[in-house]
A = this chain, B = another copy of it.
Amino acid sequence: MSTSERLQIAILGGTGNVGRGLALRWAHAGHDVRVGSRSAEKAAQACSELNAQLECDAVRSGSNREVAAAAPIVVLSVPYAAQRATVEEVRDLLEGKILIDTTVPLVPPKVARVQLPNGGSAVAAIQELLGSAVKVVSAFQNVSAHLLLELKHEVDCDVLVCGDDVAARETVIGLIADIGLRGVHAGPIANSAAAEALTSLLISINARYKVPGAGIRITGLQNP
């Protein structure tokens, strides 16, 4: 299932925890990773920290538009409040590409309580905005960012992967395997609503059980 070729991956919002964690792990797996930010300086700063951790200059940086222009796979890892504006900023650069959207529609301060956005899914709303020319795939909503950031630690959870284009989902599942996680086909982009809502439930579990990163695994599959 894992990807055999070296892929170019642009991470918009690559200075946040999820973005840095994914950049670190994909670069470590051998992919060509570029982290972007609204501010190219912030991206450069995150980039040099990542390269220090990787002990090589594997990651490059740029503005969101610069990195999005260069890569066939674009990852969105910005706060919910910045999701739509970031997509609008790079919209003309996304045609024909896969957009992996990690957005969770958390509404602070009540982040441990499910608060659904209009329509139910923040990611499905982006697929609707972009139309079928962009293959939006929802993933990583339920993965603890701080676990991703510790390269030495295995991350004990699965990744729910939703999207209307099955081949695009398959590509993303390969990229997930490259960082040692299992991605699971979880249906059309509308199903992202479940993965997004689940994040608040996991935050609630973290608080109740005083643990740092509750996650989920899918049981009952034949190849666990």
Contacts and interface: CB of A to CB of B under 8 A. Distances in A.
| Copies of this protein chain in the complex | 2
A193 B121 CA distance: 12
Contacts of A221: 205, 209, 211, 214
Contact of A219 (B157, B194, B208): B157
B185 A208 contact: yes
Interface band, chain A: 35 or more
A220 B156 contact: yes
Interface string A128-152: 0000000000000000100000000
Interface stretch (A33-41, A57-65, A66-74, A111-119): A111-119
A215 interface: yes
Nearest to A207: B187
A204 interface: yes
A113 B186 CA distance: 10
A81 interface: no
Contacts of A192: 114
Contacts of A115: 190
A200 interface: yes
Contacts of A113: 187-188, 190-191
Interface string A32-50: 0000000000000000000
A167 to B, nearest CB: 14
A6 interface: no
A222 interface: yes
24 contacts: A113-B187, A113-B188, A114-B120, A114-B193, A114-B194, A116-B116, A120-B120, A156-B220, A157-B219, A157-B220, A162-B201, A186-B204, A187-B205, A188-B204, A191-B197, A191-B201, A194-B194, A198-B198, A202-B218, A209-B222, A214-B219, A214-B221, A215-B220, A216-B217
